[in-house]
Amino acid sequence: MFSFSLPAIALSTSVGKDPGILVVGLAQTSDGDILVGLPDDRAKASAKALGVDLATLAAQLGGSAKNGKAVLVPLPAGQKLVVVGLGPIDVTAEQVRRAVGAAVRLIDALPAKAAQQVTVSLETAEPGIIKGAAEGALLATYRYGPTKAEQPGIASITLVSANKKPEAKQALDLA
């Protein structure tokens, strides 16, 4: 007998103090690749501690702005960051769905002692983009067949969005 339950999913207006594994984007611009969704204070603190900016570090670890290309970036103090390619900076809901799905699948495959908490911060504001991010995250957690006991999975997903209107919550509920 198979059973499946979706992880809890919620919206937040900012990245919390303990985001679990933080997912940010890497997008292509005419001036080069840029990180999307990483709070400035975390970017500065990580760059200072590591001696290199996170976009450069992600590229050194095999990441790129190619849509769906996800890479795990270990940070100081045991924090984890997943940088996922979004493609061109003017993203569509489908690009975000694919990117978030790739990032969550990467996280779901990581060895862990307990189910993971995931925060997705991609500067999503439009309801269609919020819905795409939620769909990608939830679809990536689906497993066909029995799961291995050593894979605890994803406990919760938080999508960061500056949109505080009811349409944002409706987009999440539709997903």
DSSP per residue over 104-141, as a string?
A: HHHHHTS--SSPEEEEEEEEE-SHHHHHHHHHHHHHHT
The verdict on domain 8-174 having CATH code 3.50.50.60 is no
Compute, in degrees rounded to 10, the torsion defined by CA atoms 150, 151, 156, 160: 130
pLDDT at 1 (0 to 100): 42
pLDDT at 112 (0 to 100): 83
pLDDT at 4 (0 to 100): 62
Q: Where are the domains of the chain?
A: 8-174
Task: State pTM to two decimals.
Answer: 0.91
- Tens digit of each residue's pLDDT, the chain (175 residues): 445 678 899 999 999 888 999 999 999 999 989 999 999 988 898 889 889 989 999 999 999 999 999 999 988 888 899 999 999 999 999 999 999 999 999 999 888 888 889 999 998 889 999 999 999 999 998 876 655 555 678 999 999 999 989 998 999 988 8
Nearest to 35 by CA among 53, 17, 21, 14: 53
Specify whether the CB–CB gap between 54 and 66 falls below 8 A. no
Nearest to 152 by CA among 63, 21, 19: 21
d(CA 162, CA 11): 9
d(CA 123, CA 133): 11
Specify whether the CB–CB gap between 110 and 150 falls below 8 A. no
Burial class (CB in 10 A: 0-12, 13-18, 19+), 100: buried
84 SS3 class = strand
